[in-house]
Amino acid sequence: MQEPVVMKPIGVVHNSVKEPRREGWESLESTIVVEDRRASALDGLDAFSHIFVIYWMHRVSEEPRETTTHVHPRGDTRIPLQGVFATRSPVRPNPIGLRVVALLERRGNVLRVRGLDAIDGTPVLDLKPYLYHSDGVPDSTVADWIQDAAKDRSRPPSDERQRPES
C-alpha cells in the first residue's frame, strides 16, 4: 500500500457547461483561471499552439471509483465490457482528466482554450506544453471497438470524456 498523494489545484475551469456530458466539446471555449500567485509560471506557455490540461473530475464520487472495474465504453451496451483503464471513462480509481486543447490566448493568470472536455468549476492540477515530437504517435493502433465506433458516424470515435455519474 503506497502513501496517498496530495495535490493542490492550481486553477479552475470556467465555461458554459454546468453538467457532465459525453460529447460536444470540440468547439467549446473555456477559460482557465490560474491562482494569482502562480500567474508568472505561465510565462512562455502561449508560444505553444496546444497544451495538455490535467484536471480533476470532481463530480465522480468515491464509491463507484473504488468498486467499478469494467464499463461499457460510452455507456453503449453494444460495446463489450472493458477494464476501466482501457477506457477514458471518468469512473476510474483516480479520475484524472487529460485533454489536448488549443491555446487561444493568455492574459495574466487567465488562459482561453478551445476543446477542453471539463465542466464549469473543474479543478485544474497541471498544464504542460504539447510537444508533437514526443506526444504524437501516428503509428499507434487502437482496440477494434474504437475503430468500429469510428465507422459508425452516430458514435464518434472521440474518447469518453466526462459522462454523467450513473
**What are the residues binding a copy of itself (CB under 8 A)?**
2-10, 12, 38, 40-45, 47-50, 52, 54, 56, 58, 69-70, 81-88, 92-94, 96, 98-100, 123, 125-146, 150, 157-159
- Count of residues for the chain? 166
Least distance CB 125 / a copy of itself (angstroms): 5
Least distance CB 79 / a copy of itself (angstroms): 10
Least distance CB 150 / a copy of itself (angstroms): 7
Which conformational region is residue 109 in: left (phi greater than 0), alpha (psi within -120 to 50 degrees), or beta? alpha
Q: What is the DSSP letter of 135?
A: H
Place of cell 457547461: 17
Given the complex with a copy of itself, which of 29 and 86 has the nearer CB atom? 86
Our CA dihedral for 109, 114, 120, 126, rounded to 10 degrees, sits at -50
The grid cell for 102 is: 488549443
Given the complex with a copy of itself, which of 2 and 166 has the nearer CB atom? 2
Given the complex with a copy of itself, which of 93 and 164 has the nearer CB atom? 93
Given the complex with a copy of itself, which of 140 and 166 has the nearer CB atom? 140
Given the complex with a copy of itself, which of 21 and 56 has the nearer CB atom? 56
The grid cell for 80 is: 463489450
> Is the Cβ–Cβ distance between 117 and 97 less than 8 Å?
yes
Place of cell 460536444: 24
Least distance CB 58 / a copy of itself (angstroms): 8
Contacts of 134 (CB under 8 A, 6+ apart): none
Least distance CB 113 / a copy of itself (angstroms): 13
